Structure 1
Amino acid sequence: MSEDHKTLNSNFSQSMKLRDGALQRTESKLQETELELKETRDRMQRTEQQLGIMSSELGETKETLTTMKQKLNNTEKERDELNSRINTMRQQMADLPDCCPPNWKLLSGKCLYISQVYRTWEDSKSDCEKKDSRLLVLNENSWQIKNFPIQSSRNYWIGLRYTKNYKKVWFDGSEGSNPNVDPGYPGKIVNGYLSEGKSDEQNYCICEKKPGQIKFQSFHQYECMKSIETT
């Protein structure tokens, strides 16, 4: 074999070895790339799954929000209806007439209790106070004295005292009245006129208090609310 032929074979062998090495490296890189692609695909699949779950949860959240909005709208409507009913009821309550407890009579804006027991003026005063009221206080010139709807043949103690100088003092707490006045004589109403009585004299009496308002317990039951003030 000639030297040229040997040199050619040697060069060919080296060239093949280089190509084999390059091919192996390429195959190795290809395997690495395929592995990376596989990992990328797996990550993409997991991401798609997570996106699917998130999309489903988002849809459920939207449905929940829609339901909550509907409930809120319904609640606001119910609130408005209740407010309207409350306002209507308040107006109706404001238009209700005054009322008095059982056995009391409503007259000219006052609840009056006409006793059926004889007592002294002091005992009558105490009895009215026990009823959260006071003895009747009148304007001397008012129609109430002249036209009071009671038996004219009876005498009734009222919230009036006469001093020893026969000065009238009404026990109404208003300016000019004096609860600590010299006892003098108790006042009474006789046949529609004011008159003085005696401390040991016994008569019926008339108590007064402010009227209350009707308090409904149901659509068919109601009661008269207790009146706290007596003036």
Structure 2
Amino acid sequence: MGDEVKVFGCWASPFSRRVELALRLKGVPYEYIEEDIFGNKSPLLLQYNPVHKKVPVLLHNGKPIAESLVILEYIEETWKSNPILPEDPYDKAMARFWAKFIDDKCLPAFQKAVLGPENERDKAREETRDCLKTLESALNGKRFFGGDVIGMVDIAANFVGFWLRIIQEIAGVELLSAEKFPALFEWTDEFVGCSVVKENLPPKHKVWTVIKARLDQTMTAQTKSSE
């Protein structure tokens, strides 16, 4: 009997897509279960992730693992083919460092830059540009953060590679550009252009619609609260 692998996710979530991309890179077959994270979370999701009650959740032979970066580590340790982490202990530690930097520093700054209170947005946008500058330095002239192949940091940075450019278009604010961050901008094209990544991304027009609705909702709420 082979492995039974299921992914509880949401089609528009970059965190869910991280898990699916890692499994696809390693050639691991899995069953995908779509969750309605905004309205009606399934009893199974709440059972398998009672702490955070959110996607993604990886179910491997009946055992649940939550949190996307934790899941990526588990996938790497369980399926050895096509590694997403370097073999060298120092390089491995640095990959983990940059993946955590993306989640702990970059993503909160990006969110505040677009969805935060109006009087805090300028500061958050500067912080976002600082994060992008730091990420560009981490690329250090390489094709991918993982060198010649996509690795854990590239997977963790999928939001920058795909979602960020859509968000800044809708919000009318320039955060990532070819002029300011040429290497990082080129990386986004390289990353999204990879066939395995492209096949794993949600349709741009659908993402656009969801993000536009979320932004409009946030702006309306902020306007009402300031009246």
TM superposition score normalised by structure 1: 0.20
Structure with the bigger percentage of helix: 2
Structure with the bigger percentage of strand: 1
Return the index of the structure with the highest Cα Rg. Answer: 1
